[in-house]
Structure 1
Amino acid sequence: MKVNARSLMVLPVVALVLASAAAAPARSASAPLADGWKPRPAQWHDTVTRKDLAIRMSDGKILRGDLTLPATADGKAVKQKLPVLVTITPYNKRLPIGTNSGALLGTNVPADYFVDRGYAELWVDARGTGSSEGRWSAFGERENKDAGEVVTWAHRQPWSNGKVGMQGGSYLGIEQLFAAEQQPPGLKAIFPTVPSADPYRDVTAAGGELDAGFLPQWFMLVSAAGAIPPAFSLTDPRSALTMAVDHLAGGVGGTLPEVLSGVLGGDVAYDGPYWAERKPITRIDKVKVPTFIIGGEYDIFQRGEPLLFEGIQRNGTPVKFIDGPWNHLQAGSGRGKEFGAAGYGSLAELELRWFDHWIMGQDTGLDQIAPVTYYEQGTGRWVRTQKWIASDLSAKTFKLSGSSTAAVRPGGLTTGTTTPGRSTLQPLPVSGLCTRSTDQWTGGLASAVLNDLPCWTDNRLNDATGLTFDSAPATKTLRLQGPIDAHLYVSTSTGDGMLSLAVEDVAPDGGVHRITGGWESISQRALDKKRSRYLDGKMIQPWHPFLKSTRKDLTPGTIAPVDVEIFPTGAAIRPGHRLRLAVEGFDVPHLAPLPDGGLKTLGPMTIYTGGDHPSSVTMPVRE
């Protein structure tokens, strides 16, 4: 096969589509659910699509949208005005990954599922992507304003009854939050799957180290999708030329410099003004429309999804949250193997139930769906609560004890008396290479392509590359749920280093299940205690500024505490199992150090325990 530049750009798209095809299909939407609710049948069985409608923004730029309407048997659109479901995508609405036909980065809803049930669907290319004019700058101020203006446009069209909902996953889910924050007229409900609260902390620079797993493939995906000529090139060549010039200018003068700034350690590598306008969480109090969030315990936005739910719930706005054992592809498409096991049906059924209630005004029994439903790793049961950090949770601290030697012996993890110790951590650039972390931070692509590797579910080989600290076998079930803080006393020979932590479940047979992880650059250890989170007076979620001005090397040989934010989850350590904290100095291919600190990450670090250096792990537990 002859390979040229264009085919190379399309390869990431092809790989992702193949990964999507390999996922298990969703359950058909027909059977009544456990609570008795049954999705209504289709009203129509034909559709008609109007392609590349011009949607003019307030600055004069034209975005393009495809509108699908139910049709009569003669192929003509029905005449009545309909509620509209809007989706804004950067992945080109012409591609399978940017439509509703089993979309990889949209939804796993059957084609025309909602249109057949009386909704109009409008898929719009985000500014500077697909067929839309303008310069692409992901979640920049102008793009966020576009989201609200698109909803307003849909609200006012002659084929619309004025009621609008929004749907879609990942980028498409984040767009919903930015639209809702603007409170556009007609917006009645949103259904974001796997959205981000704070893209910097959630994915771009976990712990102050740059993501090297997901973001490169994502950037290539958007770039490849944007290289496809628009459908209106022959009918409106002037607009097509304007769009092409805008896309080129956006790449050369906008997105590409932004990416390079992060890679080269510029302003984008730190949590400054660039990221301030790209965080839905900072304006979440303005979201006043009913919101249903789907998250994943192995998702790239694992950290932020509960925060979004909590922020909307504080507003007094109707909100639901399901957090399952899914990576980004599985959760975003509704193809996770446990999706139906949550008890609410397929993703299509759940969305229909949500929109039919808030947009159609039907009683779909939403009070039967708990505000929070999460999968408990270790037992496989689904837990239903009223809040993410519920009143029956308390903070529990496990103290690190004694010394650990890589691949030889673990240290201790105890709630009792500790033994002073010191453990040498030699960073190995292969740590993390074949783990659930790799799968998580490639968006689920790794396991979709190489799904038989045992290292996706057993972390014992990776643990041998670092230090481990184990509890005694549990005598009763320990249930943990929420964010976790690891407070470690550390010294380094180089002034910097990266702590990659995993909270794990060690089975009696030695198998190791990685529950969740956290990361922290030693030079970015500065802590904002006022913005950190506490339970029972104990820190459970540290907050680091991650500014260029707060970055400071640790004097070699000096011992200092470093708080590591371990991402939130839900799990149970059953009787006979051990709780483990694993510590490595790399997480490959997930994270890469900033250029000016790269060699410093290769130097050995020392972890101190007990006595004057009470290293510990604190987590919310249900006892």
Structure 2
Amino acid sequence: VAAFAGPALLDATLGGYEMMLPSALQTYPEQAYDGPFYQLRSPIRNISRVTVPTFIVGGTYDLFQRGEPILFRGLKLSTARKKLMIGPWYHTSAGNGLTADDGSSPVYDTKGNLLPSLNNLQLAWFDHWLKGISNGIDAFPAVETYYLGAGKWAPDTKYPASRTAYRRWYLSATPGSGTSLYAGSLAPAADGGNTTVTLPWIPVNGACSRSTTQWTAGLVSGIATCENDNRPSELLATTFTTPPFTAPYAISGPIDATIWISSTAADTQVIATISDVAPDGASSQITAGTLVASLRALTATACGAVVADCSLYANGQLIEPWHPYTQATQSALTPGVPTRLEIEIFPTSAVIEPGHSLRLTIATGDFPHETSTLSTETSSLGVDTLYLGTGYPSSIYLGTVSPPPAS
């Protein structure tokens, strides 16, 4: 481990500066970028080769939150031979809240299906597919997702949910709730005029948020990390919030954030976080996505049978962007010039209940999760400007489910 991890970590930490080292010291060239080393080991790039029955279990706050739905989509198997279960879990808490191993404290979904413990699900799965035991596991719902906010499990035949329609929310200068550096709102249409918002680069922001718990695999859950309230991190960011909803508002699947930004520097890092804002103002993170601006290159090819090196579209509009993240596609910002970023916000399932609001937070740091490489750090020492309005319609595009499956 030491022989590999030490040089790999050093190479990744240097980022683009690694090429300045003598070749003998470049143990793992371009370790900070995507390339052959990672692609060889990527489950997403190899999922089409899987032909055996596969049951994927993930969590809304899992380390692999992004990949689990993509893997399910990439499996060329019938719904009897592939399943997807996504619970309200961190990486180390998978299975919490399901029916006990002995059958006590039963848990059901909204259609009355019993949700066994993960131990019993695994046993039934292997008993059926390896031993030929007829136990009904092949008839288990193809998809079981837990809806945050509603606190309920809902079965489905696909992911994102059936009856998902897509809509866009625009970042607006109309004042909204929140105590951030700039508190705007989310609106159904772009503002008639143009507005700029100054956003300083603060790479150590975000430590007091759910992100810290998620990206430490849940190991610090329950400790004072602001796990259920992101407001401390929002203080040094910009927020855009809907008015309180009057009816349940369900979202399902990946989210694309189109953000227009410029910087006084050659690079910056943008973090887009989606939260459920309670009537008392508490802001509970649902999901998030990040992008280093110089790595904004987009693979526009639409996904089909292949799920790698392609972007996902809904109604012809981007919903899950794919970025190459290679050194060859890296391109510095031109200081002061508005630039469009497509930020992939990881998939989720949630219901914003009546009286609650949906919030998008735009920040420039998510420490320790998004600790910058040395080359990104030194290229981002500037002040960012966020653009709103008809000229630069920053927005989010997401899937909504009506009626809400777990309301």
SS class of match (2:246): coil
Q: Which residue in 1 is equivalent to 2:198?
A: 424
Of 160, 163, 187, 1:414 maps to 187
Find the counterpart in structure 1 of residue 84 from structure 2: 321
Counterpart residue type for residue 546 of structure 1: Y
Q: Per the alignment, do residues 445 and 481 of structure 1 end up closer, same or farther by CA in structure 2, a change over 3 Å counting? A: same
Match of 1:260 among 10, 19, 22: 10
2:53 pairs with 1:290: yes
Q: Distance in 2 between matches of 1:409 and 1:549?
A: 35
The equivalences for 1:135-146 within 5 A come to: none
Contact 2:63–2:215 (8 Å) recurs in 1: yes
Q: Aligned-pair RMSD on alpha carbons?
A: 2.0
Q: SS where residue 579 of structure 1 aligns? A: strand
Whether contact under 8 Å (2:81, 2:138) holds in the other structure is no
Structure 1 residue 444 displacement after superposition:
1.0
Query: Matches of 1:385 and 1:268 in 2, distance apart?
Result: 39
Cα distance change on mapping 1:526 and 1:314 into 2, 3 Å:
farther
SS of structure 1 residue aligned to 2:220: helix
Q: Unaligned 5+ residue runs, structure 2?
A: 19-29, 101-106, 109-113, 302-309, 403-407
Which of structures 1 and 2 has the larger relative contact order (alpha carbons within 8 angstroms, sep 6+)?
2
- Superposed CA deviations along residues 525-562 of structure 1, whole A, max 9, x for unmatched, are 11111111101111110111111011111110000110
1:258 CA displacement: 3.1
Residue 284 of structure 2 corresponds to residue 513 of structure 1: yes
Structure 1 position 458, deviation (Å): 1.1
Distance (whole Å) between structure 1 residues aligned to residue 33 and residue 169 of structure 2: 32
- CA drift at 1:430: 3.4
CA distance in 2, matches of 1:560, 1:339: 49
Which amino acid is the alignment partner of residue 293 of structure 1? I
Question: In structure 1, what residue type is equivalent to 2:342?
Answer: D
Alpha-carbon deviation of 1:378?
0.7
In percent, how many aligned pairs have the same letter? 39
Task: Give the secondary-structure state (helix, strand or coil) at the position aligned to 1:326.
Answer: strand
Partners of 2:169 and 2:203 lie apart in 1 by 29
Asked if the contact 1:525–1:544 (Cα under 8 Å) also holds between the matched residues in 2, the reply is yes
Partner of 1:82: none
Structure having the higher strand fraction is: 2
Matched, 1:617 2:388: no
TM-score (norm: length of structure 1): 0.57
Which whole-Å CA distance do the structure 2 matches of 1:417 and 1:489 have between them? 13
Count residues with an aligned counterpart: 367
Deviation at 1:443, TM superposition (A): 1.0
Which residue number corresponds to residue 337 of structure 1? 97
In structure 2, how many angstroms separate the alpha carbons of the residues matched to 1:541 and 1:470?
A: 22
Question: CA offset at residue 564 of structure 1?
Answer: 0.4
Gaps of 5+ in 1: 1-222, 224-250
C-alpha displacement of 1:316: 7.0
Distance 1:597 1:563, change over 3 A: same
Deviations 1:241-273 (A, max 9, x none): xxxxxxxxxx43x55433332222241111111
2:228 is matched with 457
Query: Post-superposition shift, 1:422?
Result: 1.3
The amino acid across from 1:263 in the alignment is: T
Cα displacement (A) at 1:346: 1.5
| Amino acid across the alignment from 1:418 | D
Distance between the aligned counterparts of 1:339 and 1:299, measured in 2?
Answer: 20
Q: Aligned ranges for residues 462-473 of structure 1 at < 5 Å? A: 462-473=233-244
Mark the CA change 1:497 to 1:417 in structure 2 (over 3 Å): closer, same or farther. closer
Alignment match, 1:181: none
> Do the aligned partners of 1:403 and 1:423 also contact (CA within 8 Å) in 2?
no
Query: Distance in 2 between the 1:280 and 1:544 partners?
Result: 17
Once residues 270 and 174 of structure 2 are traced to their aligned partners in structure 1, the CA distance between those partners, rounded to angstroms, is 17
What letter matches 1:458 in structure 2?
D
Structure-1 residue corresponding to 2:266 = 495
The 1-side partners of 2:287 and 2:300 are apart by 23
